[in-house]
Each structure stands twice: as structure tokens, then as C-alpha cells.
């Protein structure tokens, strides 16, 4: 009976994370803007992203994506990942990120530094019509910095987005290749693995729903996802989150989100805040028209 109640409580929390933000959109004020708020990215504001990619020759600078996570015992970790994305080909987006992390070590103080170099290629497979929009992503976290991994870790991601008249729905599935840190020999010490301040996952799968308010240049979203940490012996984590993305000006978009782990002894929470600047280079656009 206790196990049944715990399962029902978990599902109720997850459903609430998706439904609650959809009811809050009516409070935002209208603003003149474009559609960058419509394209969600991993970590901005939630972990689950949509299948849209940048238009060819378009740039997006993620200027200040910040993630703060609090674990049991009041231990905090902070991460900022400046990132530049470029529409290198039709339906093809290249991203390069430089995650910077600060990890609270309790009485021992804290450690801070670069946590690798993150390179991702996102390929859209189609434009959404009668079937969902589909995309595939290939990424690699390169060893760099004091908090980066000691070897490269490659990953692959599948994304699907379905748009209905009243909401959009997204599904993500990701897998990371490479030896687990706990499987290394005693003299092969690993550094922290991070992207921002988020530890790498062996696999991650989840769904999200969002509601857009075009006249207000606002998107509200909620998500539920599970992840298996890359480290040996760590259980599967269930997480739920909610957030919003808002078009401040034709080029600037802001976002923020909150989330919480739903199972285990360490039910920590996290907060994300970010900004993105979209722009184009006229010379590249003219060259592409030739």
C-alpha cells in the first residue's frame, strides 16, 4: 500500500509539473518580437528540447545560461555554459559550448574551472507536416579544464516534436558512450564530469509539453525525464521541471526554470536562468544566395 501511494504521489507531481505552467501564460504583458522564444534548447529553460534548428547562416549566442543545483546537506553547484550555435547547412545546426562549473565541497571550500568543451551537431530530418518533426544530434564532450573529463565522451540524441492547436509535445532520448568513471583502475583518477553543472548521464529520456502565446512572445513549458548517471552504482533519477521563455526584443530572448528530483534520498532542486541573442552575418547570407 505504501509503495502504491508513493507511485501515485510521484505521478501526481509529474503531471502537475506539466500542467501548471500552461495555466500561467495569461499573466504576461504583450511585446513586439520575433519567434526565437519558440525554439527551446537543452537547459533553456528545461532539459527536454524541441526538434527545431536554426535557419541556415543564422547565429545564436547563449550569453548567460546559468544553472544552480542544491543537493542534500545544503551543497550547491553552479554552472554557466556560454555557447554559440550556427546554421551551417539547411536543417543543420552546429553548437560549441564552454561549460564553466563551481562545485561546493563543504568544509573543504569549493572547486571551479572549465568543465570541458561541448561540441554538438543537430540535424533536422524533416519539417513537421502530418508527421512529427524529427531530429538527430551527435555530441562530444572534449577533455579540457580543471573540471573536464580525462577523455572524450560521445553521445547521440533523438528528438521528436508534435504541434497541436493547443500545445506542443516533445520527446527526447539520449545515450552517452564511454567507460564509466567507477570502472577505471585505482591509479586512473577522473575529474568531475559536467556540462554546465550537470553531471553526464549514461542515458536520458523524457517528455515535455509547452504552450505558446504568440501575441505575448511567451512560451510556458513543463517536463518529466529520467536519467541514469554515468558513474557506477548510481540509481535512475526521476526529475520534473517547469519554466518559461520570453522574447524581450527582436534579437534577445530570456528564460528561466525550476525543477526537482522526485525519487531517492537526495531530492535536490535546481534553478536555471538564461539569455540568447540571435543574429545573422550579411556576408554569409549574400554568399549563400549565389
The pLDDT tens digits of the residues spanning 73-101 come to: 677 888 888 999 999 999 999 999 999 98
pLDDT tier at 179, thresholds 50, 70, 90: confident
Please tell us whether the domain made up of 2-289 is placed in CATH 2.40.160.40.
yes
The pLDDT tens digits of the residues spanning 213-245 come to: 988 889 999 999 999 998 777 889 999 999 999
Mean pLDDT of the region 107-127: 89
The pLDDT, as a whole number, for residue 121 is 98
Model confidence at 58: pLDDT above 70: yes
Model confidence at 193: pLDDT above 50: no
Mean pLDDT of the region 170-180: 92
Phi, psi of 45 (to 5 degrees): -90, -15
Model confidence at 196: pLDDT above 80: no
Amino acid at each position: 500500500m505504501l509503495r502504491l501511494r508513493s507511485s501515485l504521489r510521484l505521478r501526481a507531481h509529474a503531471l502537475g509539473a506539466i500542467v501548471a505552467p500552461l495555466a500561467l501564460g495569461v499573466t504576461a504583458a504583450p511585446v513586439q518580437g520575433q519567434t526565437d522564444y519558440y525554439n527551446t534548447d537543452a537547459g533553456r529553460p528545461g532539459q527536454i528540447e524541441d526538434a527545431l534548428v536554426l535557419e541556415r547562416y543564422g547565429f545564436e549566442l547563449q550569453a548567460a545560461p546559468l544553472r544552480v543545483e542544491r543537493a542534500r546537506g545544503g551543497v550547491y553547484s553552479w554552472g554557466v555554459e556560454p555557447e554559440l550555435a550556427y546554421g551551417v547547412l539547411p536543417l543543420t545546426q552546429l553548437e560549441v559550448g564552454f561549460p564553466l562549473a563551481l562545485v561546493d565541497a563543504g568544509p573543504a571550500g569549493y572547486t571551479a574551472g572549465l568543465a570541458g568543451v561541448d561540441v554538438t551537431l543537430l540535424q533536422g530530418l524533416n519539417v513537421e507536416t502530418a508527421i512529427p518533426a524529427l531530429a538527430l544530434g551527435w555530441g562530444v564532450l572534449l577533455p579540457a579544464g580543471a573540471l573536464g573529463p580525462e577523455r572524450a565522451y560521445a553521445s547521440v540524441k533523438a528528438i521528436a516534436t508534435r504541434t497541436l492547436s493547443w500545445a506542443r509535445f516533445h520527446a527526447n532520448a539520449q545515450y552517452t558512450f564511454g567507460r564509466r568513471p567507477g570502472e577505471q583502475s585505482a591509479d586512473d583518477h577522473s575529474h568531475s564530469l559536467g556540462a554546465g553543472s550537470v553531471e553526464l548521464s549514461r542515458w536520458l529520456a523524457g517528455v515535455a509539453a509547452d504552450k505558446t502565446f504568440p501575441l505575448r512572445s511567451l512560451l510556458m513549458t513543463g517536463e518529466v525525464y529520467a536519467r541514469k548517471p554515468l558513474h557506477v552504482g548510481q540509481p535512475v533519477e526521476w526529475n520534473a521541471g517547469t519554466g518559461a521563455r520570453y522574447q524581450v526584443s527582436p534579437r534577445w530572448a530570456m528564460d528561466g526554470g525550476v525543477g526537482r528530483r522526485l525519487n531517492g534520498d537526495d531530492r535536490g532542486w535546481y534553478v536555471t536562468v538564461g539569455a540568447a541573442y540571435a543574429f545573422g552575418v550579411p556576408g554569409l547570407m549574400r554568399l549563400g544566395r549565389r
